[in-house]
A and B are shown apart, each in its own frame.
Chain A
Amino acid sequence: MDYATLLQVLDTTLRLATPLLLACLAGLYSERAGIFDIGLEGKMLAAAMAAGAVAALTGSAWAGLLAGIGASLVFAALHGVASITFRGNQLISGVALNFLSSGITVLVAQALFRQGGRTPPLTGDARFNPITLPGADALRDIPVIGPLYHEVISGHSVLVYIAFLIVPLTWWVLFRTRFGLRLRAVGENPAAVDTAGVSVVALRFAAVGITGILCGLAGAYMATALQAGFGREMTAGRGYIALAALIFAKWRPVAAMWACLLFGFFQALALRPDVVQAVVQVKVPVPFLDALPYILTVLVLAGFVGKAIPPRAGGEPYVKER
């Protein structure tokens, strides 16, 4: 594989890793607070539809982004009410909301645009267009680093850079702020947090809300940056890959970024079977590349690649003793 091809694959990796990363960080907040969320997929999908629809109607990608976050927050609130207020089964709630989102996105898109459940193709300001980072053109001719900066790092939409900036931000919030300490505590030992006089319910709702916002960004990115509009089931299991990445990263933000880049790299390779074949000298079936993130996650879960220990109070509703 020559250097130019490698850069192309890495460029695709960044673009495909971004929705995974946003969804993965979304799941991180929720699960660190003790709320399992297998509904990342549904929230992303709802956000993608809302973003695609509003961007098409208003011609503004930013309005689309806000709508996407709003739609995702509605689903997050439903999950919060079911799993925090009514202490329902968090896994079942997630499954239910994924189905609800999968159906309702097509219904709404069809009712609004009558284009077979799609939103109209977006152009111009209705999409987040690539931005060229400062100096990208000037540095282009420097060997090795120049093309890397110009082809891979520069030339993405603003949401890609936001996603990667949220990684250190998340680390700082979780490990350097009072809110983060409490958030992690509520996922490990909610009774202790309650005893300290801090509301478990409020903290968990805050976490679920952040999850909603980040899934909103992920979905909006899918519909208004990665692609030009919403199509049915367009998230195609990315919410579950993000969940896999979260476990792979053992619920840590920086590791989550590397996991998402790895899984994004697999997705990029699955688009270029010719490159894979040239490198490993054997014909690798594309479905195998598609399945790699899932296979790796199972291996991690099985404890063959280090042990993944989830937050201790994850999945259990908190009942105050009376």
Chain B
Amino acid sequence: MDRLPRWADVALVPLISLLFAAVISALVLLAIGQSPVEAFKVMATGAVGSAYGWGYTLYYATSFIFTGLAVTVAFHAGLFNIGGEGQAQLGGLGVALVCLSLPWPHWTLALVAATLGAAAFGAAWAAIPAYLQAKRGSHIVITTIMFNYIAAALLVYLLVDVLRPAGQMDPASARFPVGAKLPALNDIPGFDLIFTKPVPANVTLFVALGMAVMVWAILWRTRLGYQIRAFGKSESAAKYAGINPVRITIIAMLLSGALAGMMSINNVMGEAERLLQNSSEGAGFIGIAVALMGRNHPIGVVLAALLFGFLYQGGAELGLWTSIPIEMRIVVQGLVILFTGALDVMVRMILQRIFGMFRSFKAVGAA
């Protein structure tokens, strides 16, 4: 069968997949006796209908850019990192330890230190599965799933028995010092004209966008990136070209874990200002959907993260204003992963049929 034109491969395949996911979601809503049109209206009004809504949408999108990039980097090395959730939670631990260690004089210093702490803890949590995959051949998917559960248990233990201040009932760390408070978008001159009410989106958004540029530069403009992509395309060819598989596996996973960990500056430092149980709230898993939807390219990841930010904020609004449960957004998330990730071949086959029909029409016309 003929290959698809490049524009169709890059833009049309994800859009058709998204359309499938949307149609099935609408059918699900109809099946439970709800109106898809009404639901979409509520979502759109709540997520993008006001600056306040955008403040939440961008906040969620910030987290998803980090976790989406994390999955992307690993994907390029041929590794499926499902451990973003655990790495993000450990990143949160790194943020909390950094923020609580010093009375930070200014948020800029705290942000740099916390970013490094988050990246280091996230990377460390990815390092063990990476080592086991590279040296011992244990499957990275299974080990990263196991590490998600181990991370959750570790954090429950730390929050209940170690980090919880005396006299506090809920399992959470102490509140971070004032100097570690990141400016929200409504605190930044210029942006405060748009965001008049307090919103959770904060300066981390710019860190996330910076990371997207950085990931692009690393993957497509450095020797390391070339090696990662070559290794992901064909392990045997990469080995023949003198690329060390152990080194690439470990570096790719360290980068991936660091990116996943960094999302915690958004939610732990920027929003909650203390470490809570299950701080990442599934954002690590959404990274999978974001990376697949974004076709593993930083530009695609940023766009897909915005889409999922819309879905998350809109889904929360559904839970608030309608009788549609907030779990609707997990359904959409699952459908997007299903169509963009697992049923990719099906979407392509349908498109190839259609393109093939056009071509034969043209051929008939020419003759």
Contacts and interface: CB of A to CB of B under 8 A. Distances in A.
8 contacts: A89-B344, A92-B337, A93-B338, A93-B342, A103-B332, A285-B157, A301-B132, A301-B139
Contact of B345 (A88, A291, A297): A88
Given A86-B349, A92-B337, A92-B342, 18 more contacts: A82-B342, A88-B346, A93-B343, A98-B334, A99-B285, A99-B333, A100-B334, A100-B335, A100-B338, A102-B334, A110-B325, A111-B33, A285-B157, A298-B143, A301-B138, A301-B142, A302-B132, A303-B138
Interface in B143-160: 143, 145-147, 149-150, 153-154, 156-157, 160
B76 interface: no
Nearest first, the 3 closest Cβ-Cβ pairs linking A and B are: A99-B334, A100-B334, A103-B330
Contact of A104 (B28, B150, B341): B28
Contacts of B128: 298
Given A287-B157, A291-B150, A310 B337 contact: no
B342 A103 contact: no
A130 interface: no
Interface string A86-117: 11111111011111111110111011000001
A110 B157 CA distance: 33
Interface stretch (A54-62, A180-188, A237-245): A237-245
B80 interface: yes
B180 interface: no
A36 to B, nearest CB: 8
Contacts of B160: 287
Contacts of B345: 86-88
B295 interface: no
A288 B329 CA distance: 32
A108 B154 contact: no
Interface residues of A, number: 48
B342 A287 contact: no
A96 B149 contact: no
B354 interface: no
Given A87-B345, A247-B142, A290 B337 contact: no
A110 B28 CA distance: 13
A294 interface: yes
B366 interface: no
A89 B115 CA distance: 33
Given A82-B342, A91-B80, A111-B33, A96 B334 contact: yes
Contacts of B139: 301, 310
A86 B80 CA distance: 20
Nearest to A117: B325
B362 interface: no
Given A103-B331, A103-B334, A298 B146 contact: yes
A107 B145 contact: no
A231 B136 CA distance: 39
B199 interface: no
B141 interface: yes
B329 A38 contact: no
A108 B32 contact: yes
A107 B325 contact: yes
Contacts of B157: 285, 287-288
A107 B338 contact: no
Interface SS, A side = helix
Contacts of B88: none
A295 interface: yes
B77 interface: no
A211 interface: no
Contacts of A287: 153-154, 156-157, 160
A93 to B, nearest CB: 4
B276 interface: no
Greatest chain A CB density within 10 A among B145, B161, B324 is at: B145
B323 to A, nearest CB: 8
A82 B136 contact: no
Contact of B338 (A82, A285, A294, A301): A82
A19 B74 CA distance: 33
A95 B138 contact: no
B328 A89 contact: no
B110 interface: no
A102 B333 CA distance: 11
Contact of A86 (B82, B137, B156, B343): B343
B334 A89 contact: no
A30 interface: no
Given A87-B345, A98-B334, A297-B146, A92 B138 contact: no
B292 interface: yes
Contact of B32 (A92, A99, A111): A111
Nearest to B159: A287
Nearest to B155: A287
B146 A107 contact: no
A89 B161 CA distance: 41
Given A103-B327, A298-B143, A96 B136 contact: no
A243 B142 contact: yes
A103 B149 contact: no
B341 A89 contact: yes
Contacts of B323: 110
Contact of B138 (A78, A107, A302): A302
A83 interface: yes
A105 to B, nearest CB: 8
Contacts of B156: 287, 290
A232 B142 CA distance: 24
Contacts of A237: 149
B330 A91 contact: no
A285 B158 CA distance: 10
A308 B136 CA distance: 11
B263 interface: no
Greatest chain B CB density within 10 A among A100, A240, A243, A288 is at: A100
Contacts of B136: 301-303
A288 B342 contact: no
A78 B153 CA distance: 32
Contacts of B147: 294, 298
Contacts of B292: 92
B338 A96 contact: yes
